[in-house]
Structure 1
């Protein structure tokens, strides 16, 4: 049971972007985790699987760049996914210093299953918005994510 007094957004914060983004993000992380738990992956691992499902093979560092994660984080994510049997590393035939990371058949299956669950969780999460409102929100977020970073 929740207490409406503790769940309500304080009026002084109701129009602050940082406060709203933080709390919506926390709610999404919880909803996403519930949806993905049965598939043995979290949101970050699912993102790695999605990036690796691209048309061409990626090195570990190329995948890290696409995900905007540092080298150490990427190594940990790939290690975890490799332990779960969802990816495999191999040396690049063109550059022996690079590790190519590819999905295994189990990884492709897991990606397909978990993506369906993620999409359904996203649909439920955005349900308070009209379909056009949800599309507008996603377009606005894509625009902000793609905008050049401010020097400030």
Structure 2
């Protein structure tokens, strides 16, 4: 064996690797990269996929209502909807009840994209969490959900 071929001992953890903020930041960055790679073939990013998910609900939503559900400002929402509309994934129409509102709905292409991209996202998530056993991965996701939403009940549904 040459000197560079020898197995290297594991690098000891740095003091930062015991800090929650450091770990969350780096885990999120790694997952964001994995998700971006998984979604790229579908022509959407994570933000656009989130818009498609929200718009796929049972009730029609205005841009403002969708923005509120996503926790984004109106300007950001308009840009997201414009991009999705340019790609033929959503369409706007005037609300019959309030002509000042734009209802945004998925097109057939948007529904197909949503389902394919969600499948890719779930596969990326499973791959990212593969180092954890199934119970630990589920516990992690549940714990993070509680921290983010304050709601300890299981989610109502998943796509």
* Normalised TM-score (structure 2): 0.86
CA deviation after TM superposition for structure 1 residue 96, in Å:
1.0
2:157 corresponds to which residue?
A: none
State the aligned residue count.
143
The CA deviation string for residues 38-80 of structure 1, in whole angstroms up to 9 with x for no partner, is 0000000000001000001000011001100111110000000
1:16 pairs, out of 16, 19, 39, with: 19
1:68 corresponds to which residue?
A: 71
Taking only aligned residues, the RMSD between alpha carbons, in angstroms, comes to 1.7
2:44 corresponds to which residue?
A: 41
5 Å-filtered alignment, 1:78-97, equals: 78-97=81-100
Please give the alpha-carbon distance, in whole angstroms, between the structure 2 residues aligned to 1:69 and 1:9.
Answer: 40
2:126 pairs, out of 123, 127, 130, with: 123
Please give the alpha-carbon distance, in whole angstroms, between the structure 2 residues aligned to 1:105 and 1:40.
Answer: 15
Moved beyond 2 Å, runs of 4+: none
Please give the alpha-carbon distance, in whole angstroms, between the structure 1 residues aligned to 2:70 and 2:128.
Answer: 23
The CA deviation string for residues 74-96 of structure 1, in whole angstroms up to 9 with x for no partner, is 00000000000000001111111
2:155 corresponds to which residue?
A: none
CA deviation after TM superposition for structure 1 residue 25, in Å:
0.5
Which ranges of structure 2 fall in alignment gaps of 5 or more residues? Answer: 1-7, 152-159
Moved more, 99-108 or 11-20: 11-20
1:133 aligns with 2:130: no
User: Highest CA radius of gyration, 1 or 2?
Assistant: 2
Please give the alpha-carbon distance, in whole angstroms, between the structure 1 residues aligned to 2:18 and 2:81.
Answer: 39
CA deviation after TM superposition for structure 1 residue 9, in Å:
7.9
Please give the alpha-carbon distance, in whole angstroms, between the structure 1 residues aligned to 2:105 and 2:12.
Answer: 44
Cα distance change of structure 1 residues 59 and 9 upon mapping to structure 2, 3 Å threshold: farther
